[in-house]
């Protein structure tokens, strides 16, 4: 009798085994799994719900800290990656990339993969890649386009980003795959009828790009009777001190809570008690924070940037406002504060939208992308 092959997925030091017909080795390269932000969350989800037929292993290429610390982390990544390629145990290389320094690291890792003739799938997350790329000299743009274009697969978060990378970088359309970010769905959604106070939630890096300061000004512009029945909760790292100062100047200190960065269990507790999610960003890929809120049945107020308008449909599962338009944002908040039935209706529809982005469907599609890339090797 032939022995049955076993797929082993390594995740946080724990190996999970399950019988499969065949197994390929996929190497995930990206920022630390402990890092704050969406890229780490996506990687953790992929590792926890590995596509069938694939063994996944992660190499950390970047971590927050001093320049020396970041340099040491990347040097270790290069040496570990080199050793893995020499062992010939890598069937496919999956590199997560954003913008700025991440692009340089990705170019070097991709060239190394080419030297060893390993198929490469790049996974683009960068919310600010578009302005970053447009500011680069022409010869740098050509290098980035050439390296990205030689990859066997290129994953983007939305049709918006698919069109951008094909039109601006000249990528081959057949190699560009749209794979929206995914979420783990909570099994139970709390009843939010007659909630008092009405909790407004922001989750992300505090600062200009995510529209945090616009949100504080918009909240300050609400009629006093609505401010008194609502509470704004801001979760995330970044320019928290500036946020505190602005809230104080606007007279909001008693109506706003800054939580700092929170872990997944704290996030779920916050979302379970939330009524409205607000993310008035200027640039985005497809923010996981919105998808997580929608999975909890919370209607989002956000902006039509990046892949957001492909998920959030105005007056169906959320509201969209123009980035930087504080008055419009304030009116949207007031609209949902005053209409509880609409909040519940949009929240129910938001949950239905999130169900189509379940992690099981996501990893199945990722496995098919891997399969398609490996067909040519």
Mean pLDDT within 330-359:
95
Mean pLDDT within 180-191:
91
Mean pLDDT within 322-344:
96
Residue 256 pLDDT more than 90?
A: yes
What pLDDT score was predicted for residue 340? 93
Greater pLDDT, 194 or 237:
237
Residue 110 pLDDT more than 60?
A: yes
What pLDDT score was predicted for residue 24? 93
pTM of the model: 0.84
Q: What is the pLDDT of residues 137-164, one digit of tens each?
A: 999 999 999 999 999 999 999 999 999 9
Q: Which residues pair with 199 in a beta bridge?
A: 231
The rounded distance, in Å, linking the Cα atoms of 84 and 333 is 52
Q: What is the pLDDT of residues 216-235, one digit of tens each?
A: 999 999 999 999 999 999 99
Residue 13 pLDDT more than 70?
A: no
Q: How confident is the model at residue 353 (pLDDT cuts 50, 70, 90)?
A: very high
What pLDDT score was predicted for residue 195? 81
């Amino acid at each position: 009798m032939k022995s049955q092959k076993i797929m082993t997925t390594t995740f946080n030091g724990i190996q999970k085994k399950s019988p499969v017909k065949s197994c390929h080795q996929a190497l995930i390269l990206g920022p630390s799994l402990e890092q704050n932000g969406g890229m780490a969350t996506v990687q953790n989800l992929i590792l926890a719900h590995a596509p069938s037929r694939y063994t996944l292993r992660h190499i950390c290429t970047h971590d927050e800290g001093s320049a020396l610390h970041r340099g040491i982390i990347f040097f270790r990544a290069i040496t570990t990656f080199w050793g893995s390629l020499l062992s010939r145990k890598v069937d496919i290389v999956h590199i997560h990339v954003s913008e700025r320094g991440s692009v340089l690291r990705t170019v070097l890792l991709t060239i190394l993969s080419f030297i060893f003739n390993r198929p490469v799938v790049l996974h683009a997350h960068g919310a600010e890649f578009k302005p970053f790329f447009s500011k680069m000299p022409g010869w740098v743009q050509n290098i980035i386009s050439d390296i990205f274009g030689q990859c066997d697969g290129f994953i983007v978060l939305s049709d918006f980003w698919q069109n951008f990378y094909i039109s601006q970088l000249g990528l081959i359309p057949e190699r560009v795959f749209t794979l929206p970010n995914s979420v783990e769905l909570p099994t139970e959604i709390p009843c939010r009828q007659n909630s008092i106070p009405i909790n407004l939630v922001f989750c992300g890096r505090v600062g200009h790009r995510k529209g945090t300061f616009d949100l504080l000004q918009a909240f300050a512009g609400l009629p006093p009777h609505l401010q008194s029945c609502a509470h704004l909760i801001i979760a995330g790292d970044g320019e928290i001190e500036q946020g505190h100062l602005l809230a104080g100047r606007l007279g909001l200190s008693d109506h706003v809570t800054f939580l700092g960065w929170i872990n997944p269990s704290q996030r779920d507790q916050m979302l379970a008690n939330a009524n409205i999610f607000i993310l008035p960003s200027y640039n985005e890929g497809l923010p996981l924070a919105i998808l997580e809120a929608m999975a909890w049945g919370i209607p989002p107020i956000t902006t039509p940037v990046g892949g957001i308008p492909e998920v959030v449909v105005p007056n169906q599962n959320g509201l969209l406002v123009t980035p930087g338009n504080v008055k419009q944002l304030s009116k949207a908040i007031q609209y949902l504060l005053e209409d509880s039935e609409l909040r519940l209706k949009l929240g129910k529809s938001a949950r239905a939208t999130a169900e189509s982005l379940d992690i099981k469907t996501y990893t199945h599609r990722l496995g098919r992308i891997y399969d398609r890339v490996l067909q040519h090797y």
